[in-house]
Amino acid sequence: MVNNISNRHEFTAQALHVTPPMAFGNRILYFITFTCLLHSTKPSNFNGDTLFQGHDQLTTTNSLICSSGLFTLSFFQLDESEYFYLGIRLSVVNSSYNWVANRDEPIRDPSVALTIDQYGNLKIISNGGNSTIMLYSSSKPESNSNSTIITSAILQDNGNFVLQEINQDGSVKNILWQSFDYPTNMLLPGMKLGFDRKTGQNWSITSWRSGKSPLSGSFSLGLDHKTKEMVMWWREKIVWSSGQWSNGNFANLKSSLYEKDFVFEYYSDEDETYVKYVPVYGYIIMGSLGIIYGSSGASYSCSDNKYFLSGCSMPSAHKCTDVDSLYLGSSESRYGVMAGKGFIFDAKEKLSHFDCWMKCLNNCSCEAYSYVNADATGCEIWSKGTANFSDTNNLITGSRQIYFIRSGKAEKRKKQKELLTDIGRSTAISIAYGERKEQRKDGNTSDETYIFDFQTILEATANFSSTNKIGEGGFGPVYKGKLSNGQEIAIKRLSKSSGQGLIEFKNEAMLIVKLQHTSLVRLLGFCIDREERILVYEYMPNKSLNLYLFGIEIYSFTI
């Protein structure tokens, strides 16, 4: 599912109280407006597009601008940061950086410079030349004076920064290195996602750790080496896959919802497998919250049910966590301070805000969480009973955005209790999340009816696998399942197209309870989870119950 940026909900980069890489609503306007001006104007601070070997240095006081004027290469600092980064961005005010050379090696020294030495090495130097970040290193030994090559680095009109070997006549002999081979969080036209088996080169984009930190985040987008599908990883776990490539696109991206942003060409041989991003204009950004932002203004995600992608397989939260909490909008944000200190995770874990959210969801006692550092990275969580919050203004030291888990269980339990009250007129009801109690030791089964949580239903049916499907009627499909205690069950899943609402579902459950006796398949329980309406029966093989009782079709399948 996709949504325009104007409809983004509360849990966005703005809700995180950080500055996003760029105001997404303005990016498209900037892009189109600036492109239209390219042929009629040049920036007044044009410094050329090429860094020459030996005598040229790019410092914090100058920049490279491509010949069209569209892209700028310069050193920059983010708000409230003491670090310098070398990056490429659109040559408009407040545009996001589409490439960062030293994202995981920030530099404090304001005298930092980019240079090409006499041996053709492209490097960032600081601290008087005592510290070096090598972007490209010649394989020839520097001690051999005959190894010197002539090089220059040019910022091209497509945003690619290229180090090239130059012939004596000034023509280009060879491309030695290019920024397109080392993308950060943004895909531009002409860039690749994939891998080269011969050289070991991998092309993928990885999110920033936060809107204020270009450090490598926890989400990446690339091609899986085994399946050759496009995948999204969260901390090395695949959380989305595109399906196989066929007829011009990946299986899960064939919908018209994706055609504006996911425009690729696929190539594969014995050495390379990759997709090339090929729109005339556009970009794809891998966001720090696991949301893919497209230049069309749409967003795609597996962690937000408003921007959903087909093919998601997000990891489940702990069994004690409400299913509703698996989506970003389930956290309530408030600005202030906590009276007590929570548990702070080790900085070595390199946690993003999304990581911290998942840490909280997977801790049954976690009630609130927040970032630790000024750049909205790190993680601190508070347990129930210790999350004492105080509202403050921006002037209070230690104030930050605090996120409270809003599980939605209260409303869910209210609906369940209403249903239980009505059904309870016909039978004894007992709330037991998860699974049915074991049969009594005397061999008699309990007459109680239970509430099953949706995760238990998913596990029992292998995510409603087609191999578990045993029938279907006008109400929807029926599946055979097995609980963790080994008990076999039959699961009737109400189809959204059946027209049956909560009242009809309740009446059906009440009727079945009243009709229960030893000659009928017994109702074990039910599940109500958001739009899901599910009845759970005992499974009795070789017993047909195609019966019409009181004019209502109770069963239309054989079990």
**162: closest CA among 183, 178, 181, 176?**
178
Cα radius of gyration (the chain): 29
- Whether residue 382 lies inside any domain: the answer is yes
Residues 456 and 367 grouped into a single domain: no
Tens digit of pLDDT for each residue in 435-488? 334 443 444 444 556 778 777 888 888 878 777 888 876 677 888 999 888 889
pLDDT given for residue 340 in this prediction: 82
Residues 130 and 197 grouped into a single domain: no
Strand partners, 267: 274
- Whether residue 13 lies inside any domain: the answer is no
**Phi and psi torsions of 527, nearest 5°:** -140, 130
Share of the chain above pLDDT 90, in %: 44
Residues 36 and 169 grouped into a single domain: yes
Residues 396 and 378 grouped into a single domain: yes
Highest-pLDDT range among 39-43, 292-296, 473-477 = 292-296
Polymer length in residues for the chain: 559
Cα distances (Å, whole numbers) of residue 508 to 246, 380, 425, 552: 45, 47, 14, 9
Pick from 288, 315, 342: which residue ends a domain? 315
How far is the C-alpha of 356 from the C-alpha of 349, rounded, in Å?
A: 10
DSSP 345: P
Count of other CB atoms within 10 angstroms of residue 522: 16
- Whether residue 97 lies inside any domain: the answer is yes
Residues 164 and 280 grouped into a single domain: no
123, pLDDT greater than 70: yes
How far is the C-alpha of 480 from the C-alpha of 540, rounded, in Å?
A: 10
How far is the C-alpha of 335 from the C-alpha of 16, rounded, in Å?
A: 10
Structure tokens at 358: 């998942």
Are 378 and 345 spatial neighbours (Cβ–Cβ below 8 Å)? yes
Burial class (CB in 10 A: 0-12, 13-18, 19+), 427: middle
Check residue 213 and give left, alpha or beta (phi > 0: left; psi -120 to 50: alpha).
Answer: beta
Any idea which of 160-174, 328-342, 349-363 has the lowest mean pLDDT?
328-342
Residues 165 and 196 grouped into a single domain: no
296, pLDDT greater than 80: yes
pLDDT given for residue 50 in this prediction: 96
Sign of CA dihedral 410, 411, 413, 414: positive
Residues 199 and 284 grouped into a single domain: yes
- Name the band, by pLDDT with cuts 50, 70 and 90, for residue 497: low
- Mention every residue, 6+ apart, whose C-beta is less than 8 A from residue 96: 20, 21, 22, 27, 89, 90, 186, 285
Pick from 315, 338, 357: which residue ends a domain? 315
Dihedral over alpha carbons 508, 512, 515, 516 (to 10 degrees)? -170
Q: Stretch 192-205: mean pLDDT, rounded?
A: 97
Residues 396 and 413 grouped into a single domain: no
- Whether residue 514 lies inside any domain: the answer is yes
- Whether residue 17 lies inside any domain: the answer is no
Residues 52 and 190 grouped into a single domain: no
Pick from 280, 315, 350: which residue ends a domain? 315
Query: Does 12 or 311 have the greater pLDDT score?
Result: 311
Residues 381 and 440 grouped into a single domain: no
Q: How far apart are the first and last CA of the chain?
A: 36
Q: Stretch 515-521: mean pLDDT, rounded?
A: 51
Structure tokens at 64: 């490279």
72, pLDDT greater than 70: yes
Any idea which of 5-9, 178-182, 324-328, 418-422 has the lowest mean pLDDT?
5-9
330, pLDDT greater than 70: no
- Whether residue 224 lies inside any domain: the answer is yes
- Whether residue 16 lies inside any domain: the answer is no
Range of the domain at 528: 409-553
Residues 113 and 220 grouped into a single domain: no
**135, containing H or E segment:** strand 131-136
Residues 286 and 190 grouped into a single domain: yes
What is the domain count for the chain?
A: 4
- Whether residue 14 lies inside any domain: the answer is no
**354: closest CA among 468, 220, 465, 487?**
220
Tens digit of pLDDT for each residue in 200-249? 999 999 999 999 999 999 999 999 999 999 999 999 999 999 999 999 99
